[in-house]
Structure 1
């Protein structure tokens, strides 16, 4: 982890709320915020850790996952520039520890707002509206994820995961399993079934989509042809 040169203009461009704050509040935010540059793969927070601040993602992305005792992960969401982390928000608002894991997916630049300043800025309408608006958006995303996991079969979710990314996907079976909150063996078995039906062609760390219409049928109703 290193300290980059503060890029206030970029932070304000990513988060227009900063410019909407009164001058004194904006000054406090920028003075109190701690800048950090972290390489891809850095563990930013984990289960049962205390939440020390509110992160603004200025560059890069953060992957937030829920981890099971057996090592399996269920991806919850990504935080990209201009967005916020609902887990961090809820921990700060509820004075609780983290209940998920956050990992820098790429080289990432963060502006971290310490908890005391987060609490103080909640008194500013622009900041409060920003936090709760994005909070509501994340809740909607999580409800959709719960619906997919609870009501859609894995073959449906896998077929949907393969669509919309072009004809050639450079991805491993493990990466797909991580995205779906499953295990590699199940995903590999389904992919082999897709290949046997002529829907995809499998190569090392590559999947070629041969029949997108067939995948869409599976994604929509779960019935393989």
Structure 2
């Protein structure tokens, strides 16, 4: 199966490479199909290469010793993984975990070829431009975790998923880097205030206006730890 056209459609920088760099990439590309739930990389593992996601999505998380996870970001088709980039550029092992959220098709560019292609201006600009974008996303995450209460973050998360959410409390907890018991307690508080209606693996948003106020810190949704 020739995925080169899809690769270039997802990552236009490929077509902008010099002929020599383009040929080098094509000759060394390692294509992979991974099922949902597969761990693509983990903490303290060596980084083998630079991933290009063609189809699917990869969830990158930071894991605590007690098993809790803090979601850092997702890598969808056409995007890049800042953890992989930093490990390759700094010659360090991974310091986070990447898990395929869905069946995922990707191309892995081996580390030696990644190092070679950094000499190509188009590829170098691509890597550092997306690196900067991901750093900005992570800074926003740090701000949310450090300065926003969990009820604010939960309200914002509910608003971003439509009027009716088919989701478990555990999934929401994973999204927020919290635990199910705390999220369930907050949701019950939201329901008692008439903000949402709860059912099995379903949450219906009843009062989006007040949820927006809560997300903005203008209304309290009940007692909650400040950030976790």
Same fold, judged at TM 0.5 (above)? yes
Q: Which residue does the alignment assign to 1:109?
A: 105
Q: Among residues 206, 211, 218, which one is paired with 1:215 in the alignment? A: 211
Partner of 1:149: 145
Structure 1 counterpart of 2:38: 42
- Deviation at residue 223 of structure 1 after TM alignment: 2.3
Alignment map for 1:1-225 (pairs within 5 Å): 5-221=1-217, 223-224=219-220
5+ residue gaps, structure 1: none
Which stretches of structure 1, 4 residues or longer, exceed 4 Å deviation after superposition?
Answer: none
Asked whether the equivalents of residues 153 and 222 of structure 1 are also in contact (C-alpha less than 8 Å), the reply is no
Describe the SS at the equivalent of 1:50: coil
The worse-fitting range, judged by mean Cα deviation, of 101-110 and 214-223 is 214-223
Measure, in 2, the Cα distance between the counterparts of 1:21 and 1:167: 44
Q: TM-score, normalised by structure 2?
A: 0.95
- Offset from partner CA, 1:3-34 (integer Å, 9 cap, x none): xx231000000000000001111010011010
TM-score, length-normalised on structure 1?
Answer: 0.97
1:221 match: secondary structure? coil
Q: For structure 2, list consecutive stretches of 5 or more residues without a partner in the other structure.
A: 222-228
Q: CA RMSD in A?
A: 0.8
Deviations 1:56-86 (A, max 9, x none): 0011110000000000000000001111000
How far, CA to CA, are the matches of 2:133 and 2:2 in structure 1? 28
